[in-house]
Structure formats: structure tokens, C-alpha cells
Structure 1
């Protein structure tokens, strides 16, 4: 099985490649149309800023390719947010796979919640084959200042300031706001379950 990891100058890609290697997947980092189109699975990871990332995707015409892909696709962290319609981060129009808005956390009190949301938090209301072998309220590791609103496509939620979409699913597209590669055995299991789809 070949897994294409989309290269778009967003950070944190190397740790995803290591995680896939540990699971025995043949993963390649690429922005090549053909390699991405013909891969068995596609992973769209990344940390960074939405408008810069979208600019790179448009330069490479990947903004046209990604929404048309038919194989199992997994967007992680910034990769989840870019699959939505719009992000408040620099007023960015995103890929539009999910009819969902990405918003910045606005805590009522700065003493109560810090932004970015960094650290371990639980995922609840689990409803997807991605969670096979996992328990309700399993913990995953987050680093983000923006969140995806809840929608009919939410398959797990997390509470921080408010309830937000921890993971989403629509057709062949799956997403996760937390970092599976930093989330210990829970994150490893989610990645493995994605590879098993």
C-alpha cells in the first residue's frame, strides 16, 4: 500500500512520516499530481498558517486536485481546517470539502483558557470505524488556536472553551484536529484504523 503525504510547506510532516513508517506503511512526501492521484491513501498533515498554505496549494494546483480525490483521505490539524469552507485565520477561503467554518477560540476570560489550546484533551461521542478499539473519552494531543465548528460531519468532539469538531467525516474524507503522531497509542490506533479502511 502506498500512502501519499501531501507536501505543501506546512510544518510537522516528518513526525507523521515516522509514525507511518512505524506502522509499516510505504509513505512518500510529495506534491506531485500523479503520485497523489494514484496513491492508495492520502494524508494531508501540517502545522502553520492557513492563507500561506492555501497559496502554496494554489501554486501547485493542488486546490483543484484534493477535492476530486476518491481514495481514503485524512486531513490532520491544519489539514483538517483547510478542508473546510473558510477560516478566520487571515480571512482565508479554503478547499470547501466540508461546509464548515473555522473560527478562532475566543475565551471569555484569559485566566480560564489559554490560546493556543496546547496539550492533552479527550474526544467524545465517537462514531466512526476510525475509533475501533478505542474507548469513549480517549485522550489526544492538541496544538491549535482555531477550531472547526460542530456539524453533521462531526464524528467526535472535544470541549475547550466550547465543543468543537475533533474529527470529521464526509464521503472518502476523514479529518482530525489533534496530532495522531503525538497522541501515543490512541493516535497510533486512529492512524492504523485509517490505513485499514
Structure 2
């Protein structure tokens, strides 16, 4: 019999936390970003909401933005296990430049592909997508054999395409396994 006994307050883990629900990106144009995620990456749009605004200090208190800001939101499903929330804000004081990967707050969205070369061809043929450097393969270390390349979307969001062999060297030294999507015929991802 399993009981739901709360963990002691001294635990280092968040009670009830099972995993990520979504990632979110603020984009300059919601329609353009949704079109890219659905038309190019194959995401499905779940819903849109907004514009959301408040006549008081709610936007600052709840979202950490200027109280006069407004926001429109789209929630998408990308692949078997990723929800992506896209925000388009208006309001004073907004920076319009994407952070570099080396900047605090820098980020990228890494996407698994079973067809690395085909994915590279598809994305680089998409207007406005730019590949940074050339595709790489890790030659040694814990993820030897992993192939990757960085690209940018038309508005500057960094993407990474990733493909790795079925077994990676780090797996010889730990029971921890990184999630990797499985093809539909392979069953659940691990």
C-alpha cells in the first residue's frame, strides 16, 4: 500500500515534482513564431489567449514585467513530450535583442532528430533560418558519437539539432539515462 506522506521540510527535493510541463519563449511576433513552430517544426497549436493586461500592478507582481505591459500567449505541443509556450509582449522598456548563448539568460532549444542530415537540409532550406558553423560530431568523452549543429530561427531563437548513438559512454558509469525520444515502433522514450 502506498501512502502520500509529505516529505520533511528539510528535504532537498520539491514535493510532488515529476518533471517539466513546458518551456516558454518570448518572441517578437506571435503569428510568425506559431507559423514556424507548426509549419516548419511540426508542432500542434493547442490554444491561444490574450491580450492580457491589468489596470493595477498585477503584471509586475505576477510576471515581473512593466505594469503597463500586455501579452498574448500560444501553447503548442512539439513531438511526444514537449509543450512550448510562446509569449508576445507589448509595453515600455522591452529589449528586442535576443541574448547570446554566453549571456546570462542565454538559451537554446535542442531538438532530437532521427534523420540528422534530412533535418539540417529542411531547416537550412527554410527562409530566414541560419546555420551557425557546420554540423559536428563529438569525438570523445561522455557523449562520444553525438551529432549536433546550432541554427537560428528567422527572429533569432537558437535551435540545436541533436542525434546520438543508442549507447553513450557516460552510461557505463551511472544509472542515470538522459531522455531521448523513441521512434513510434520502439515504445516509450527513455
What range is the shorter-chain TM-score in? under 0.3
Provide the TM-score with structure 1 as the length reference. 0.26
Provide the TM-score with structure 2 as the length reference. 0.27
Pick the structure with greater CA Rg. Answer: 2
